[in-house]
Each structure stands twice: as C-alpha cells, then as structure tokens.
Structure 1
C-alpha cells in the first residue's frame, strides 16, 4: 500500500512537469488568428489617428540640385505660440513631439541659437512639429535646410530635419 501511495504522489507531482505546455507554435497560431480577424474587420475604421496619419503625405522635393525629404500634413497653429502669419508655405521642421512642453523647450533653444522664426504647429492627433525656419520660396527653404542640417547645435534624429508643407493653407487657428 505504501508503494502505491508513493507512486500516486510521484505521479501527481510529475503531472505539471509533463502536461501540455505552450510553445512558439501555439502563440504563433493565436497571433495569426487575431491578425486575420483584424484584417477582415475592415468595415470599421481603425482609429481617427490612423486616418490622420494616412492623410499625411511623405515625399521628396527637388530644390536646385538637392532632394529634401518632405511631409505634407494638415496642421494648425499652437495657441499662444504661433500665428497663421508665422507659418509660411515651406517650413524646416527639426523635431516632432507628443507633449507641447518638450516642443516649446526646443523652440526656445532654437530661438536662442539665432533661429528667430522658430515656431510650433500641431496636427489633429495632436503631435507638435518644431519649425526652425519658415519661408515662402522653395529656394530659400533649400538653403535653410542645408544650414539647419549642418548646424551641430540642432540635434535631430532621422528623418529630421525635413520640409513640412501645410496641407491647409492659410492655417486656421
């Protein structure tokens, strides 16, 4: 009887170690099922933010002999920081932030570096673009792009700096 009792106890103890375990194949199958279900639910739009991101257009603009990365996006002026007259057709954006505090901080540093036209614009998401230079002509924008790109004080992560073209112009506040 003692032997049966010990065997039963050993079997109960060993059961969790030899039972069905999840493995990579199980996770992959579940992931594929969820991914397929998400793709088939195309009747409902994802989020409004996905729609906004899809409306922005990423391209390149040829200015003189240079090719400048360009984004065309619907933006508006940031209340208390910029006016529609401050933002022109060609804008050199050096960064994008989710928090207005960070964007304002960089804008103030740019103004301290001598970029007196530095300003902010925001998308509907809201994402805040920090603009170092704003001009009305493509040639001036190309020259400003090269100056900002060469300025070591203006630290920008890829893909910045870039040319920001407002989708709705003039900008409404």
Structure 2
C-alpha cells in the first residue's frame, strides 16, 4: 500500500512541475508593457526605428595661426637639483614627474631615444623627480618647445630653476 501511495505522490509532483512551465514570451510581453507605460508617462515615443542623423555641412574656414605669447605663459618656480644630465638653464620643459627615480630614468631613456637631451632634476621639497626634455636660457624658446612637446606629452609644463 505504501508503494502505491509513494508512486501516486511522485506522479502528482511530476504532473505539477511539468504543467507550470514559465514562458519567456510572458516576460517579454510584461517588459514591453512596462516600457510602453514608461514612455507614456514621459511623453516620449518608443524608439523602434533608427535615429535620424543630420548631415554635416561643409563651411569654408579661413586658416588662422594662434601664437602663444611667451610673456603670458605659466611658469612654475622650483628649487631643483640635477640628478642626471649636463645641467639646467633658466627655463626647462618638464614632461614627467615621478616619486620613484626608476620611473624617471625610464622616461629619460624614452626621451633620449626620441632625440631629446633629457635630464632628471630632483625637487627635495616635494620629493619628486622631474624629467626635463629641453632647457633654454630664454622663456620664448622654452614656450615654443613646450608647445611642440604637448602634441605627445599633453601635461608638459615650464620650470624656472631658482
């Protein structure tokens, strides 16, 4: 008798689990209904088509050249000591600042391979190694060099050695 009772209970459980399948289409319909309600609340149409793209208009532009005024260029003044290199002049273009000397030496090698006479200067007040790509006696030449270096090193800045 117990065998039949267990067999009937198993058959009933099997029938219950197989008859209650979830349907993805029901979930999809509920999702679409919710999206439609959301669009109705915001008064926006449901995006079903590709977005409209406005064509570009070609306009004739006259070529202008903007010259950076060297007198207005921002210069940081720091007391630095040359660690590696022949020596700094009054104005230098710094392309990297590192707290580890090994990182500064890696940047120096990269610059030397690119043809620059790169140097490393140490700022003891900030505990930073400054990698100098170029150094000049006058500010105008340093500004020009910084502008050229910014195409590759966007954060290049001017250093005035105290």
| TM-score, normalising length: structure 1 | 0.50
> Does 2:68 correspond to 1:73?
no
1:126 to partner: Cα distance: 2.3
From 150, 159, 162, the counterpart of 2:157: 162
Q: Please give the root-mean-square deviation of Cα atoms over the aligned residues, in Å.
A: 1.8
Q: Which residue of 2 aligns with 1:120?
A: 120
The answer to whether the 8 A contact 2:85-2:118 is kept is no
> Aligned partners of 1:64, 1:149: CA distance in 2, in Å?
13
- Aligned to 1:88, what secondary structure does the other structure show? coil
| TM-score, normalising length: structure 2 | 0.53
- Aligned to 2:150, what secondary structure does the other structure show? helix
The answer to whether the 8 A contact 1:68-1:162 is kept is no
Q: Which residue of 2 aligns with 1:82?
A: 85
Count of aligned pairs: 94
- Aligned to 2:85, what secondary structure does the other structure show? coil
Structure 2: runs of 5+ lacking an equivalent: 1-66
1:64 to partner: Cα distance: 5.5
Structure 1: runs of 5+ lacking an equivalent: 1-62, 168-173
Structure 1 stretches of 4+ moved >6 Å: none
Q: Which residue of 2 aligns with 1:136?
A: 137
